[in-house]
C-alpha cells in the first residue's frame, strides 16, 4: 500500500513509493519515514534563470560589436536576423540614450533670436492680467549654488559617480539679479504669484512676501512647530541634521514647547496644502492665470504636479506657457515660446523692455532679517552652519549667542563636507532623539541638498554590484 506524508500542506510520497528524485532535494525526517525527500524546484530554476540572463547579455554584447562595424559579412547578417528582437532592443536603447544626451546639453539662442524672444516675453507680461511664475534651480546658479540636472548639476555628477563639492556655505549665497527682478515685478503688479522649487530661501531674502510665494519644496531658513504649527524664520540653515523622513531640528517652540521641524520635501514625500508649502494658494492662482512663465527649471519634477498645468481643461482654455531654460524640458512642445538663455541675461533684457529698474541686493536690507527670530542661548549649539550677515541694526538677533558660538558660525567658512555617490545618509545621521542634537566637528551638508537623490543612487549601485557578482 502506498503511503504518503503531508508536510506544510505539500503532498510528499513516502520512500516505499520508490520515487527517484532527479533534482536537488531537501531531507526531512518523520516517524513514518526516516528519510523523506522534498523537491526544491526554486533552487534549480534560479541558476537556470541567471544562466539565461547571462547568455542574453553575451548576445547583446556581440550584437553591439557587430552593429558598430561599417560592413556586415554573411555570418553577421545571419546572426542579426537570428536575434532580430534583441537587435531592435539594442537600437531602441541606443536611440533613447542619444536622445537623452542631446537633451541634457545646454545651449543659448543666437543674440538676435534671444533679443526678439525677450521682446515677446516682455510684451506677454505687459498685456497679461494674471501672470504667475514657476522658478527652479537655474535662477540661483549665478549665486554659486549648483543646479541639479545641468551638465555640472548635483544629480548629474552623482549619476556619473563623481563627488560634489560645495565651495562655500549655502547660507552665504545672496539673491541674484533674477531674484531682485522677480521681486520688482511683484512690487509693480506685473507678476501675481510665484511657485518655487528652490529651498535656498533667496526669494524671501530678496523681499518677496511669504503671501506671494509657494515654496513647494520648503525653505532652508524656515522651521515650524509640530504641535501648534507656528512658523519660525531663522538666520541659519535649519536643515543641518535633517534628511529624508527625518525632519526634527532639535529645537523647540517658544510658545507651546513642541518640537520644531524643517519644511523640506524630499523625493517620496508630500507637501502640505496650506503653509508652509501653500498648495491651496498656488492652485488658486493657477486657476486665475492667463500666462505662466517657467524660469530656470527643467520641469522634470514640476510636470508631475498635474494641478499646475490644468490638464483637465481644453488646450485653448489653458494659460499661455513661456519657458526660459538652457536645456530641453518636457513641456517645450506645449510652450508658446521657448527661450534658451541664462536667467539673469533674459531677465535683464525683459526688464529693460518693460522700462523697470531693478535695485541691487543689499545685505543690510535683507528681508530675512525682518522675519527671523533671535537665536536663544540654548540654541547656540544646535547648528554649525554659518549665519547670514547681520548688520548692527539687527544686533538683537545675536544678543544671546555666546562669543564662542558666534566665532564658530562664521558665514565665510566653507563646508568641508563633500557628497559622494556611495555616501549613505544613515552614516551621517545625528541622534535627534535627544533634546540637543549631536553635532559633529565636521559641518554636515544641508539636509535638503542632494540627499534625497543620493539614497536612490546608493540602492541602484548596490543592485549593479550584485549583478556583477552573479556574472
Do residues 202 and 213 lie in contact, with contact meaning Cβ atoms separated by under 8 Å? no
- Report d(CA 286, CA 325) in Å as an integer: 21
Q: Quick one: residue 6, left, alpha or beta (phi over 0 = left, psi -120 to 50 = alpha)?
A: beta
Query: Are 100 and 118 in the same domain?
Result: no
pLDDT 10s digit of each residue in the chain, 471 long?
Answer: 444 444 444 444 444 444 444 444 444 444 444 444 455 555 555 665 666 666 788 888 888 888 888 888 988 889 889 989 888 999 898 888 888 888 888 899 999 999 999 999 999 999 999 999 999 999 999 988 866 665 665 556 556 666 656 556 788 899 999 999 999 999 999 999 999 999 999 999 999 999 999 999 999 999 999 999 999 999 999 998 888 888 999 999 999 999 999 999 987 788 777 667 899 999 999 999 999 999 999 999 999 999 999 999 999 999 999 999 999 999 999 999 999 999 999 999 999 999 999 999 999 999 999 999 999 988 988 888 788 999 999 999 998 887 766 665 554 443 334 444 444 443 333 332 223 232 233 334 554 555 554 444 444 454 444 444 334
**Is pTM, for the whole model, over 0.85?**
no
Query: Are 275 and 350 in the same domain?
Result: yes
Inter-CA distances, 268 with 4, 245, 301, 424, 455, Å: 51, 9, 12, 17, 11
Q: At how many degrees (to 10) do helices 343-354 and 111-127 cross?
A: 50
Query: Are 270 and 386 in the same domain?
Result: yes
Query: Are 61 and 127 in the same domain?
Result: no
Q: At how many degrees (to 10) do helices 343-354 and 177-188 cross?
A: 30
Q: How many separate domains does the chain show?
A: 3
Q: Length of the chain in residues, anyone? A: 471
Query: Are 282 and 335 in the same domain?
Result: yes
Q: What is the CATH number of the domain that holds 202?
A: 3.40.50.1220
Nearest to 431 by CA among 418, 422, 440: 440
In a domain, 46, yes or no: no
Neighbours of 459 (CB within 10 A): 9
Query: Are 389 and 257 in the same domain?
Result: yes
Long-range contacts of 99-105 (CB under 8 A, 24+ apart): 102/328, 103/327, 103/328, 104/149, 104/151, 104/156, 104/327, 104/328, 105/151, 105/327
- Report d(CA 18, CA 5) in Å as an integer: 14
Residues forming the active site:
217
Which residue in the block uniquely carries the three cell numbers 526688464? 351
Query: Are 417 and 350 in the same domain?
Result: yes
Annotated ligand binding at 294? The verdict is no
Annotated ligand binding at 317? The verdict is no
Query: Are 25 and 90 in the same domain?
Result: no
Annotated ligand binding at 228? The verdict is yes
- Report d(CA 278, CA 261) in Å as an integer: 17
In a domain, 45, yes or no: no
- Residues paired with 259 in a beta bridge: 252
Q: Cα 436–220–250 angle (5° rounding)?
A: 10
Annotated ligand binding at 256? The verdict is yes
Residue 267, domain extent: 111-458
Amino acid at each position: 500500500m502506498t503511503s504518503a506524508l503531508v508536510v506544510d500542506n505539500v503532498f510528499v510520497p513516502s520512500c516505499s513509493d520508490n520515487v527517484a528524485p532527479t533534482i536537488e532535494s531537501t531531507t526531512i525526517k518523520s516517524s513514518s519515514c526516516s528519510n523523506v525527500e522534498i523537491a526544491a524546484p526554486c533552487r534549480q530554476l534560479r541558476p537556470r534563470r541567471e544562466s539565461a540572463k547571462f547568455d542574453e547579455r553575451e548576445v547583446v554584447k556581440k550584437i553591439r560589436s557587430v552593429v558598430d562595424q561599417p560592413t556586415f559579412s554573411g555570418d553577421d547578417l545571419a546572426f542579426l536576423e537570428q536575434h532580430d528582437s534583441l537587435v531592435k532592443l539594442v537600437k531602441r536603447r541606443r536611440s533613447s540614450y542619444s536622445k537623452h544626451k542631446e537633451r541634457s546639453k545646454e545651449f543659448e539662442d543666437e543674440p538676435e533670436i534671444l533679443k526678439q524672444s525677450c521682446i515677446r516675453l516682455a510684451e506677454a507680461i505687459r498685456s497679461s492680467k494674471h501672470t504667475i511664475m514657476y522658478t527652479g534651480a537655474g535662477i540661483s546658479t549665478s549665486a554659486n549654488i549648483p543646479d541639479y540636472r545641468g551638465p555640472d548639476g548635483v544629480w548629474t555628477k552623482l549619476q556619473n559617480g563623481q563627488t560634489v563639492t560645495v565651495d562655500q556655505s549655502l547660507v552665504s549665497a545672496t539673491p541674484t539679479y533674477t531674484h531682485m527682478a522677480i521681486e520688482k515685478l511683484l512690487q509693480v503688479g506685473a507678476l501675481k504669484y510665484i511657485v518655487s522649487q528652490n529651498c535656498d530661501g533667496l526669494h524671501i531674502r530678496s523681499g518677496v512676501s511669504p503671501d506671494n510665494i509657494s515654496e513647494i519644496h520648503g525653505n532652508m531658513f524656515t522651521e515650524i512647530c509640530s504641535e501648534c504649527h507656528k512658523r519660525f524664520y531663522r538666520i541659519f540653515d535649519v536643515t543641518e541634521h535633517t534628511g529624508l523622513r527625518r525632519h526634527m531640528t532639535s529645537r523647540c517652540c517658544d510658545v507651546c514647547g513642541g518640537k520644531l521641524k524643517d519644511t523640506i520635501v524630499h523625493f517620496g514625500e508630500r507637501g502640505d496644502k496650506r503653509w508652509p508649502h501653500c498648495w491651496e494658494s498656488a492652485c488658486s492662482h493657477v486657476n486665475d492665470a492667463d500666462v505662466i512663465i517657467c524660469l530656470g527649471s527643467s520641469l522634470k519634477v514640476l510636470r508631475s504636479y498635474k494641478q499646475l498645468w490644468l490638464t483637465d481643461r481644453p488646450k485653448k482654455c489653458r494659460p499661455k506657457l513661456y519657458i526660459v531654460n538652457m536645456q530641453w524640458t518636457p513641456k517645450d512642445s506645449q510652450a508658446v515660446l521657448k527661450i534658451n538663455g541664462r536667467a539673469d541675461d533674459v531677465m535683464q533684457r525683459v526688464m529693460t523692455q518693460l522700462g523697470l529698474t531693478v535695485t541691487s541686493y543689499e545685505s543690510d536690507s535683507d528681508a530675512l532679517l525682518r522675519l527671523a527670530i533671535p537665536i536663544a542661548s540654548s540654541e547656540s549649539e544646535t547648528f554649525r552652519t554659518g549665519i547670514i550677515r547681520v548688520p548692527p541694526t539687527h544686533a538683537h538677533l545675536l544678543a544671546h549667542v555666546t562669543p564662542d558660538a558666534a566665532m564658530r558660525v562664521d558665514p565665510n567658512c566653507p563646508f568641508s563636507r563633500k557628497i559622494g555617490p556611495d555616501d549613505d545618509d544613515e552614516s551621517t545621521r545625528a541622534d535627534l532623539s535627544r533634546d540637543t542634537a549631536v553635532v559633529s566637528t565636521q559641518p554636515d551638508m544641508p539636509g535638503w541638498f542632494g540627499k534625497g537623490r543620493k539614497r536612490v543612487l546608493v540602492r541602484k549601485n548596490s543592485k549593479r554590484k550584485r549583478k556583477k557578482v552573479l556574472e
